[in-house]
Structure 1
Amino acid sequence: MTFAALKTGLLSAPKIDWDFLLGVPLRIVIIIIGAIVLNMVMRLFIRRFSTAVAKGTVGSEKSAGHSKFSSTAAEAQRTGIEPTVIRERRAQRAKTVGRMLSSVTTIIISVIAVLMVLDQMNFNIAPILASAGIVGVALAFGAQELVKDYLSGFFMVIEDQYGIGDTVDLGEAVGEVEDFGLRKTAVRDLTGTLWHVRNGEIMRVGNLSQGWARAVLEIPVNYSTSMATYHEITESVTNSMLQDKALASAILERPEVAGVQSLSAEYRVIRTMIKTKPNLQWMVERAFRAELTNEFDRRGITIPIIQETVLRTLPDTSDALGSTTTSTADDRPQFAHAGRRRNDDSPSPLPSDDEIRSTTDEAGTDSPDGDS
C-alpha cells in the first residue's frame, strides 16, 4: 500500500466524535475512578482506626489527661490480666470494627456511584430516590430493632465492655461469653445452656472478668470468739492457702477483715474480702471456707446454730396440760465438722448463677473500696 492510498483511506474514514467521548463516557469513568479512590482512602482510615483499637490508643475515660492508653505491660500490671489476653481482645475488637466499617463504607460509596452513573446516562432516578425513601421509612419501622442491635454491638466493641471468655451477668443470661458479634451475644451458663441475647436488649452488663475481682465472704462467728482471735485465724488460713501454687497465683492481696456486717441472737457475721484475679474469686472463696472450717475444728470453735422452737399439738386429749412440747436445736446431736469437709481442698473454679448475681449485687451496693 502506497502512501497516497493510505492518505486517501484515512481521509475517507468516519471522524471520531471526540465531543461525545469527552462528555458522558468520560464523566462516568471519572465517577467510577473517584468511587474506587474514595473507597481506598476510607479503607485506609478504617485500617488506621482499627490499628488504634488493637493497640488500645483510642481515647477513653480511662486515659483522662493522656492521649493514649498505657502499654500492654503496664495495663496488664494494673488490671491483673495476662498480656496475651489483652492483645487477643484488642485484635478481636479491631477485626470486628474494621470489618463492619469497611462493609458499610463500600455499600454507601457504591450506591452513590451507581446513582450518579445512572443520572449521567439520562435515566430518571427520581422514582428510584422516591422508592428508596419509602424503603427507608419502612426499614425505620420494621428493622429498627435490627439497627438497634448493630449499633449497640458496635459501641460494646468500641468500649470493650466484654469479650469472649468473660464471665458476665446480662440479666436473664449469666455465664461465660462464647461468641460475641455485632448483632447478638452467646452466653453459656453453668448448666450448659447456651443463651443467645440480642445486643439491643442488653440494658446493663456486669463483667466479672475485667481488671480484678474480689471474693466477699460473710462468715458467721459466735460471740465467744473475739475479733482478735478471728484475725489470727484469718492469717493462719491465708498462710495455708498461699502454700498452694494455684491459690497463691490467684490471690492478689492478703484478706481484709472489713468488720462486723450484721448481728443476731446466735452469732455475728464478719465480712472478709480477698482481692483476686478475674474469674478466680469463687475458687478462692471455696478454698477459704474449706480451710476456715478446718482451722475452726483444730481450735475447737463450733459454727453457731440458729436456735429454733417448734410447737405442735398432740392428738391425746387426756394430756391437756402437756399438749405442747418444746424442742430446741440444743437437743440435736452435734457432729464434727472435720469429717464432712476434708474433701473441700480442691474447690471448683466454676461459679454458680447465684454466686455471680450475688457478686454483682455486692459490687452495686458496696463502695468500690469495699468499705462496709
Structure 2
Amino acid sequence: MVESTLKVIIVIISLIAVLQTLGVNATSLLAGVSVLGLAVGFGAQALIKDVFTGFFILLEDQYGVGDVVTVNTSDQLTGTVERLNLRVTVLRAMDGTVHIVPNGQIQTVSVSSKDWSQVVATVSVSYGSNIDRALEVLQAVSDEMHGDPKWGSTF
C-alpha cells in the first residue's frame, strides 16, 4: 500500500513539473483538483473508513485468513475468514453462507483460533459399546496422526 501510494505521489509531482515546464499554470489546476479531491473525500467517507480500518487490521495482525472469528456489526456473524483485504473481510459460516463485511462496520472481533485452537468433534458410538474402549481408539488415532509427517505439523 505504501509503495503504490508513493508511486501515485511521484507521478502527480512529475506531471505538475512537466506541465510547468510546458508553460501551463499548474497552481490553478492544482487548486481545482484539490477542490475535486475534497468533494470526492466527503463522498467516499465510508470507503476511506473501510480502508483505514482494514489497514490497521492487517498492520496489527488482528486476524487472518483461516481464523475463526465472530464479528460484531449490527448483527453477530461467525465464520472462517476466507479473504481479507483493505476494504472487506469475507467470512464463511458453518452452514456455508458467505458474509462480506466492510471493515469500517466492524465494531469488535472475537478470534477463536488466534495462536491456539481446539477440535470439537462429534463421534457416534453405538449404544451398547464400551465407552472406555472408544476413548482409547480415539486417543490411538490422534497419536498416530500426530506422529504422521503429513498431519503432525497441524497438531
Q: Same fold (TM over 0.5)?
A: yes
Aligned to 2:69, what secondary structure does the other structure show? strand
The TM-score normalised by the length of structure 1 is 0.32
Q: 1:197 aligns with which of 95, 101, 104?
A: 101
> Who is 1:13 aligned against?
none
Q: 1:188 aligns with which of 65, 73, 92?
A: 92
Rounded to whole Å, the distance in 2 between the matches of 1:152 and 1:248 is: 43
Q: Tell me: CA distance 1:247–1:205, structure 2 relative to 1, closer, same or farther (3 Å).
A: farther
The TM-score normalised by the length of structure 2 is 0.73
Matched, 1:153 2:54: yes
Could you tell me which runs of 5 or more consecutive residues in structure 1 were left unpaired when the two chains were aligned. 1-99, 216-235, 251-279, 281-372
> Who is 1:209 aligned against?
113
Matched, 1:121 2:22: yes
Rounded to whole Å, the distance in 1 between the matches of 2:22 and 2:35 is: 24
Aligned to 2:108, what secondary structure does the other structure show? coil
> Who is 2:139 aligned against?
243
- Which amino acid counterpart does residue 6 of structure 2 have in structure 1? T
**Mapping 1:7-18, distance limit 5 Å:** none
Aligned to 2:95, what secondary structure does the other structure show? coil
How far has the Cα of 1:104 moved from its partner? 1.3
Q: How many residues are matched?
A: 131
> Who is 1:142 aligned against?
43
Rounded to whole Å, the distance in 2 between the matches of 1:111 and 1:118 is: 11
- Which amino acid counterpart does residue 137 of structure 1 have in structure 2? L
- Which amino acid counterpart does residue 141 of structure 2 have in structure 1? K
> Who is 1:287 aligned against?
none
Q: Tell me: CA distance 1:201–1:249, structure 2 relative to 1, closer, same or farther (3 Å).
A: farther
Rounded to whole Å, the distance in 1 between the matches of 2:143 and 2:56 is: 36
Aligned to 1:186, what secondary structure does the other structure show? strand
Q: State the Cα deviation string for residues 299-344 of structure 1 (Å, max 9, x = none).
A: xxxxxxxxxxxxxxxxxxxxxxxxxxxxxxxxxxxxxxxxxxxxxx
Q: State the Cα deviation string for residues 45-94 of structure 1 (Å, max 9, x = none).
A: xxxxxxxxxxxxxxxxxxxxxxxxxxxxxxxxxxxxxxxxxxxxxxxxxx
Q: State the Cα deviation string for residues 254-278 of structure 1 (Å, max 9, x = none).
A: xxxxxxxxxxxxxxxxxxxxxxxxx
How far has the Cα of 1:157 moved from its partner? 1.1
Rounded to whole Å, the distance in 2 between the matches of 1:146 and 1:249 is: 46
How far has the Cα of 1:207 moved from its partner? 1.0
Aligned sequence identity (%): 37
Aligned-residue Cα RMSD (Å) equals: 2.6
Of structures 1 and 2, the larger Rg is shown by 1
How far has the Cα of 1:182 moved from its partner? 1.1
Q: 1:110 aligns with which of 4, 7, 11?
A: 11
Aligned to 1:191, what secondary structure does the other structure show? coil
The structure richer in strand per residue is 2
